[in-house]
Structure 1
Amino acid sequence: MIRAIGPFALALLLAAPANAQQVEEGPGGPDRVSLTVYNQNIALVEDVRNLNVPAGRSRQEFPGVSASIRPETVGLSGRGLSVVEQNFDYDLLTPGKLMESAVGNEIGIVRTNPGSGAQTTERARVLAANQGVVLQIGDRIEVLRDDGVPTRVIFDRVPQNLRPRPTLSVTLDAEGAGRRETTLSYLTSGLTWKADYVARFDEKAGQLDLTGWVTLTNNSGATFSNAQTRVVAGDVNLIGNQGGYNPRQPVRGGGVRGNGTQSGGEGALADVYVYPLPEAVTVANNQTKQVGLIDAAGVPATKRYLRVINGFFTAEQPIAAEVGVIFTNGSGAAARALPAGVIRVYVKDEAGEPRFIGESQVDHSPAGSEIVVTTGDAFDVTVQPRLVSSERVSKRLVDYFRTRYAMEYTVRNARPEAVTVEVRQRGLGRDTELTEQSIEGEMRDARTVVWRVPVPANGETKLTATITTGG
């Protein structure tokens, strides 16, 4: 067993720089703390403590800060205070570190006779502590090993550079003495969050119930107790990549931007959304915690069947339609921006039991967005495209021509109820013209045309169209 014994002078443990008048040991932790956690493995910590600060220069200790702190981001504010110097001590006190720090110094070795229980104590000089501990005891050299003889190592003091937990020390210059509130703020890695949702979809009623959770994961090396916590949806610009910062490699975020509105407690801030959690939470180190984000009932929702056809061709076999659930987060309790996350959809079976039917990743969605959750493919709703004919109709430039495609799409429905299938034809070029359509389509964008095809129960519908487009 390795242990440190005896009291030691505070001045030895916390030796101040020569220009500091006095060393003050701050409280063991913050009086209150708030967290702002971003999507990019980074968080802003605001640590408020009441300190008794002497006039002039002194050094204050802030134990309990994150072990993953970015020291260059530290800011300290308080009435009449200015910062002269700051140090982050992260070499933690462990038996191994304690022995390494003792190299060149003497320690006490206490051995206990297993038979008689008698103890013998010797002084030894530590010569090395690499892959093992090498000692000089008098004129002999020994290796400290586990040979079955109970042995204790006694250290005279704790080295000045070792800390029981990560500690930030700040040299302050105060205009006057007295107790005052100080706010320590810094960025740290090791704190992440993500959103997860559960949607209980009732197709007959045309609505769903939506529950959302925020999952916080803390690997920062510190515990944050009763922290007022916010999570930020959207990416901010960081220099470097996750876990390291390279000043030559800027990384710019590309999250969905909000519409500037505020609802449901969240707010838009510089094109990202901030979501305050409803209550203060304690996030322990090496802990994952889930906190409720949204609970909305009766949100209008519909099912969508979709098949995207890329290019003009004939399919030998029918292609299954993609199934999705669509709702808008713009009415009722769901009228709020939703952070990106995974939405898992459940429906009730004939016995009324919920059954999982699929999940989908959704992007950051401002209030009023149409959200589509793709749950899988429908084997009983299919689309089979057929290229009836194609011909080049004109050639205006050397590298530009127009082609006329005659297409037929057979849309089948083996379900006992009628459905509407959205057929999207992609691969269009310049100056597209739609003619001879059996169902009127619309251009979704410059390269995509969309038809909404009604199909009767246990039936089929043939969609025909002529598409003339530039190459």
Structure 2
Amino acid sequence: MKLQSTRNGRKSLSVAAYNGGFALVRESRLVTSDGPAEEVQFLDVAERIEPDSIVVKGLEILEQNYDYDLVSKGKLLERYIDRNVHVRNSETGEAVEMRLLSVSECIIGERADTKEIVIDPVGELILPALSEGLLLKPALVWKIAPVVLDQEIQVSYLTKSLEWHAHYTMEINEHEFRFEGWVKILNRSGAHYEKAKLTLVAGEVHREEEVNNGDSTIVYSRMQEAGVTVLALPDRFIYRMNRPVTVMNEQLKQLSLFSAHGAEFKRTYQVCSGDTHADIKLEFFNTVENGLGIPLPAGLVKVYEIGESEEAFFAGEDRIAHTIPGKNLCIHIGKAVDITSDSYEKLREKHGVHEYITYVYKIENGKAESIRLTVEHIIYDPFWEMESSSHDYERKSSSKVEFVVRIHPTATVELEFTYKIDKQHEGRSY
């Protein structure tokens, strides 16, 4: 006999969603049969299931198939090729019997009484009883040795088209900010996940293909009261929702991760060679003191700033990487209209094997308060050494040097520095 297992027999369901656009689904179901069963049809699985990822515990499986032969007009009619069907006139109620010959481009039949060929007959097409084996839903079909079933089985599999992304909102006012983390889950896997234990896995997992999907209907669900548990897993950030979550197919759901209030941040400015205006950056630490101190998954941060009128305006957005507790976050939100920069090469001289280059940054602060600004300069020559500088600096890497400039209100400062290049080493390989 054949046994069908549906989600009605489900005992537990968990979904672990990954950044890469796929998920690991695990569920337990109770399966019972009145007599020896030789085939189990496991229904209500994801349409985007990866058949080679399926793991089953609790059944001795001899053969496994993934059947996607769902009921549709075309697929249903194909089952009746070379069989007799009836076409009934809706006005007279008269039915004509005919043998179905083709349904590929149109319906072609042969009348049973006259042997005439009929193309696209007019009337109501009546078919015999539903063909055996035609499934109404996608299913895993397992052949097993005949046995009476009364047991719980565990099934796990990977499915594509279920993805999650983190995103954040940041509202700043003077030196304090409100920082909220959200999770966006998009389910296009072809299955509903009702009251599932939801886990989110942050970090790159190597896959042979990437899956990209658009957005769908948005459903908002605040989970601040229920909270999120951060779990430990080597090389990954793991977040488990503390209450069951339902994610329906073709649904985009947003869940709250956390909310930090009254935390402190620092506004900084930076210019690079060629910039005409300074970059605005907001910096804060991912610490308990700032209401955070948890691993933050990579995501987009949208920043809103409250002005003198107490009205919030959109200030900019930036993307953060996966950030462990204790690390500094730096969010670039745009350019400052009242801090300008003019940079140029002032002098280039050659003395023997060395070439001396003098560079100037002319920076104007149009604000009514003093600012602290960093200048990031890239030196592309591999062998160089700083000769002189009008301001303090720090060598960040083999090619990057950073200067610190303090500028009074409505004042202009010139940063000038000279470095030498060792031309003797150019062209050598090491």
TM-score over 0.5 (shorter chain): yes
Distance 1:320 1:292, change over 3 A: same
1:373 maps to 331
2:357 maps to 405
Distance 1:120 1:393, change over 3 A: farther
Taking the TM superposition and a 5 Å limit, the aligned residue runs for 1:23-422 are 23-29=2-8, 30-52=10-32, 58-78=38-58, 81-113=59-91, 118-138=92-112, 139=114, 140-144=116-120, 151-172=123-144, 179-202=150-173, 204=174, 206-242=175-211, 265-309=229-273, 319-332=276-289, 333-395=291-353, 402-422=354-374
CA shift digits 1:418-463 (9 cap, x unpaired): 1111100112434432232221100111110001211111112221
CA shift digits 1:375-420 (9 cap, x unpaired): 111121122113221223453xxxxxx4322222111111111111
Distance 1:338 1:391, change over 3 A: same
The CA deviation at 1:231 is: 1.5
The CA deviation at 1:239 is: 2.5
Contact 1:303 1:326 in 2 (8 A): yes
CA shift digits 1:72-116 (9 cap, x unpaired): 1100112xx332221110121112211122221122222211xxx
The CA deviation at 1:35 is: 0.8
User: In structure 2, how many angstroms separate the alpha carbons of the residues matched to 1:160 and 1:199?
Assistant: 58
User: In structure 2, how many angstroms separate the alpha carbons of the residues matched to 1:133 and 1:228?
Assistant: 48
Which ranges of structure 2 fall in alignment gaps of 5 or more residues?
A: 213-226
User: In structure 2, how many angstroms separate the alpha carbons of the residues matched to 1:142 and 1:305?
Assistant: 80
One-letter amino acid of the structure 1 residue matched with residue 367 of structure 2: R
The CA deviation at 1:308 is: 1.9
1:6 maps to none
Percent pairwise identity: 24
One-letter amino acid of the structure 1 residue matched with residue 253 of structure 2: K
User: In structure 2, how many angstroms separate the alpha carbons of the residues matched to 1:276 and 1:337?
Assistant: 13
RMSD: 2.3
One-letter amino acid of the structure 2 residue matched with residue 336 of structure 1: I
CA shift digits 1:135-173 (9 cap, x unpaired): 22232222226x6xxx32222122335321101112345
User: In structure 1, how many angstroms separate the alpha carbons of the residues matched to 2:377 and 2:33?
Assistant: 72
User: In structure 1, how many angstroms separate the alpha carbons of the residues matched to 2:95 and 2:369?
Assistant: 90
The CA deviation at 1:240 is: 3.9
Distance 1:381 1:103, change over 3 A: same
Contact 2:228 2:242 in 1 (8 A): no
2:417 maps to 465
CA shift digits 1:333-366 (9 cap, x unpaired): 3111111111000011222111101111222222
Contact 1:89 1:168 in 2 (8 A): yes
Distance 1:124 1:209, change over 3 A: same
Distance 1:160 1:308, change over 3 A: farther
Contact 1:429 1:446 in 2 (8 A): no
User: In structure 2, how many angstroms separate the alpha carbons of the residues matched to 1:53 and 1:422?
Assistant: 74
Distance 1:326 1:103, change over 3 A: same
One-letter amino acid of the structure 2 residue matched with residue 198 of structure 1: T
Please state whether the residue corresponding to 2:89 is helix, strand or coil.
Answer: strand
Please state whether the residue corresponding to 2:229 is helix, strand or coil.
Answer: coil
The CA deviation at 1:236 is: 0.7
One-letter amino acid of the structure 2 residue matched with residue 445 of structure 1: S
User: In structure 1, how many angstroms separate the alpha carbons of the residues matched to 2:43 and 2:251?
Assistant: 20
Distance 1:432 1:161, change over 3 A: farther
Number of paired residues? 405
Please state whether the residue corresponding to 2:205 is helix, strand or coil.
Answer: coil
Which ranges of structure 1 fall in alignment gaps of 5 or more residues?
A: 1-21, 244-262, 310-314, 396-401
Contact 1:424 1:449 in 2 (8 A): yes
